[in-house]
Structure 1
Amino acid sequence: MIDHVDLDRASADALVRARVAAVVNAAPSISGRYPNLGPEVLLKAGVTLIDNAGGGLLHRVRDGSKIRLYGGSVYVGRREVAKGIVQTPESVADQIVEARAGMSAQLEAFSANTIEFLRRERSLILDGVGVPELQVSMADRHVVVVAPGAGYAEDLWALKKYIRHQRPALIGVDTAADTMNKLGFRPDVVVGDPTGIEESTLKAASEVVVPAQPDGYAPGIERVQELGIGAVTFPASGNPEDLALLLTDTHNAALVVTVGFQATLREFLDSGRSGSNPSTFLTRLKLGTKVIDGRAVAVLHRHRRIGLVLLLLAVTVVVAVAVTLLLTGAAPAYSDGATRLWHTITGWVAGLFP
């Protein structure tokens, strides 16, 4: 049972990971302000969603009580304690369509917050003032930054061949660093509150960057000090994902591949509802063409590998034909045909790489 207006994707993902059978929301899961993603996530996972059950629900049901759901009603024993609306994929889709009209107001509010953030952090965003120095070299290198967004573990695994061939610097943000370490991708840099990151991950990383408040206080710095791990602080009001991106830009990375970041407008607004801030928009603008989504990199790298395989296959065919002609002594007699075959094959190979 929750009381969460505009249920966002991060909260819904946490509920799905907890393997809940049903969610009863005292508040409306879609208020109409913007098309949030949480209800869709729950329904796709097979979780029953009863919506708008009333603010008194959490006071009428104690923790640990056995409840029964039927037709939108919530029962404790035989007593009905609340009644809400059972959401379906169709009802959620209809509400999402209506909520799109509210996006303009959300974007206007976000724009105002962005201007205020730029006033506070213009020296950081424009000139990189306050970005800590790192021992890990990123200059002219590819860098992969992994944040704990939706589907990030699968997207990271899809990049394993790219990582093996390009050997980029790896940055793990918050709990995504733990996942990287478990999958065998040792993070070079960990950015986030150390209290939520496993000890083995902190020790495996080459460097730890702890986000700090503008006054310099860094929550969690005591933990890395107790573990005897060196760490630097990064005073700023941006979120850890954006601080990681600013690190790559200030240290002259050639290309920044993002995994677990927001890729669409809906995801961007949904992340804003769950605690993100305007630093994301300005950070993306600052990095510009350096940033590319990890899913696109995985697709491009896979196609590149397919092209190389086809090239090797073509070379093998040419060599086999040449060897056959030489062994049979037919090379002189069939020189014209072999030449035509060669031109045909080389033309076909060239067509693979326009």
Structure 2
Amino acid sequence: MKLPAPLRRRGVPAEIGGIVRLDRRTKTLTKRLGPGEIAVIHHSDLDRVSAEALVAAGVSAVVNAVPSVSGRYPNLGPGILLEAGITLIDDAGEDVFTAVREGDRITLDAGLLLDLEGAVVAEGTLMTTDLLESKLEVAREGLSDQIDAFTENTMRYLREEKELLLEGIGVPEIRTQIEGRHVLIVVRGYDYRSDLEALRPYISEYKPLLMGVDGGGDALIEAGYRPDMIIGDMDSCSDATLRCGAEIIVHAYRDGRAPGVERVHDLGLEAVVFPALGTSEDAAMLLADTKGARLLVAVGTHASLVEFLDKGRSGMASTFLTRLRVGPKLVDAKGVSRIYRSQIRGWHLVLLVLAGLLALVTALSFTDVGLAVGSVIVARLRDLVYFLKELLT
């Protein structure tokens, strides 16, 4: 079954076909997506980081089993997909995960998913710019409710983790020496690539301790660095990075449960367990601060209220309090690449080289050695001219 042409919305591609890749965890799916494939996800309130990962994978379309904008807050992910020209089929239903299988080839026609015979296997809503804007407008109206919830979560976290926040009670013993050092904490979040690139001179000069938060360990490896420590629940860091020799800190639930430990042990590695509420980036900051870090430089972490909400976790309130705890030690690298641009141009370097050569020639011309060298050079030039004349005649 195909939609008649008059029913297709203006500006929407008629048909998009491709191989299906599906996973309920978007960050797991993006690791195996290829260009031109169709991603089937289960991601309410699609966030910016996940959307950027889908764009980077080069997918032709995204099919979301649930609403990409639930109305809780104006999330950023769907707009990023549409700006990149990626078709988004929204709210296709839970059954889409049984209607299609990994590796199937399907065709998208407006909001329909068609198999090779043209039969409809699932149906959702084709997301357009106008539809997205109307959904985000409704979400903006309800943002005050989310701020109230954020406030309540903040107070709950403060009550339950006041010993950790105020006195550092519960921070584990580690072998890596942190006291007195700069610590670069890398989260594979917003703008982490550009910020890491902008920080290369700082890393080269200060040699900070490199701490990757879960996938942030892979980000450091991709940038050409070896992490000194990796901290997180170990669900998004590659095996190769875990084996790089870094000390591994598994972020556990407050009751001590640490699912990530099993994976580390299966790789034949040792790990330190750090039970704490909040996110892994909070645990990284608290660990570095408690162990006496002189300065914390954060890459890819969450810095604003919208970013906290866009992460999709009520527990993001812990990040707000953690930043208050570490206070003046924390320097956020976010935006460094946009604020600073090198003012050195190619012609500046050419002028510098020419000025240096002129200074060298001038200095040599007033010394006996310089005069002797000049005479030799002049003689060699005359020989070259004579040789060329002989060659031409």
Task: Say yes or no: TM over 0.5.
Answer: yes
Partners of 1:133 and 1:56 lie apart in 2 by: 44
AA paired with 2:223? L
Q: Is the Cα contact below 8 Å between 1:57 and 1:81 reproduced in 2?
A: no
Q: Verify: 1:63 aligned to 2:101, yes or no.
A: yes
User: Could you tell me how far apart the structure 2 residues matched to 1:28 and 1:199 are?
Assistant: 33
SS at match of 1:184: coil
The CA distance in 1 between the partners of 2:225 and 2:333, in whole Å, is 15
Find the partner of 2:140 among 78, 83, 100. 100
Aligned residue number for residue 341 of structure 1: none
1:124-273 to structure 2, matched below 5 A, reads 124-194=164-234, 196-225=236-265, 227=267, 229-271=269-311, 273=312
Q: SS of the counterpart of 1:95?
A: helix
Mark the structure with the bigger radius of gyration. Answer: 2
Shift of 1:144: 0.7
| 2:322 paired residue among 243, 259, 283 | 283
Change (3 A) 1:26 1:125: same
Could you tell me which amino acid in structure 2 is paired with residue 42 of structure 1? L
Q: Greater relative contact order (Cα 8 A, min sep 6): structure 1 or 2?
A: 1
Q: Deviations over 1:328-352 (max 9, x none)?
A: 9xxxxxxxxxxxxxxxxxxxxxxxx
Pairwise CA distance, 1:94: 4.4
The answer as to whether partners of 1:257 and 1:297 remain within 8 angstroms in 2 is no
| CA displacement at 1:28 relative to structure 2 | 2.6
- Give the equivalent residue in structure 1 for 2:127: 87
Q: Is the 8 A contact 2:186 2:298 kept in 1?
A: yes
Match of 2:71 in 1: 32
Query: 1:81–1:227: structure 2 CA closer, same or farther, 3 Å change rule?
Result: closer
**Alignment map for 1:339-354 (pairs within 5 Å):** none
Equivalent residue for 1:44? 83
What is the rounded CA distance, in whole Å, between the counterparts of 2:259 and 2:282 in structure 1? 18
> How many Å separate the matches in 2 of 1:31 and 1:157?
35
CA contact (8 A) 2:195 2:336 kept: no
Q: Deviations over 1:38-92 (max 9, x none)?
A: 1022223321012244x36527723255433223333343444555432234443
Contact residue 21 and residue 47 of structure 1 kept, 8 A: yes
**C-alpha distance 73-154 of structure 1, shift in aligned 2 (>3 A):** same
> Is the Cα contact below 8 Å between 1:5 and 1:28 reproduced in 2?
yes
Number of residue pairs aligned between Structure 1 and Structure 2: 324
Q: Offset at 1:146?
A: 0.3
Partners of 1:56 and 1:200 lie apart in 2 by 34
Instruction: Between 76-85 and 229-238, report the one with greater CA deviation.
Output: 76-85
SS of the residue corresponding to residue 259 of structure 2 reads coil
Distance 1:296 1:69, change over 3 A: closer
TM-score by length of 2: 0.70
Q: Give the CA deviation at 1:165.
A: 1.0
CA RMSD across the alignment: 3.7
- Show CA shifts across 1:121-141 (max 9, x none): 111111110112333333333
Higher helix share: 1
- 1:165-190: CA deviation from partner (whole Å, max 9, x where unpaired): 11111101112212312432111111
Tell me the amino acid that sits aligned with residue 303 of structure 2. A
Q: Distance in 2 between matches of 1:153 and 1:285?
A: 26
Aligned to 2:390: none
More displaced stretch, 56-65 vs 126-135: 56-65
Q: Aligned partners of 1:92 and 1:79: how far apart in 2?
A: 28
Q: Following the alignment from structure 1 to structure 2, what is the Cα–Cα distance between the partners of residues 59 and 204?
A: 36
- The 1:215/1:62 distance shift into structure 2, 3 A limit, reads same
Which TM-score applies when normalising by structure 1? Answer: 0.76
Query: 1:168 and 1:48, CA in 2 relative to 1: closer, same or farther beyond 3 A?
Result: same
One-letter amino acid of the counterpart of residue 27, structure 1: V
CA apart distance, 1:118: 1.7
Q: Structure 1 residues 225 and 162 mapped into 2: Cα distance closer, same or farther (>3 Å)?
A: same
2:304 and 2:271 map into 1 onto residues whose CA distance is 33
**Identical-pair percentage:** 46
C-alpha distance in 1 between matches for 2:89 and 2:266: 46
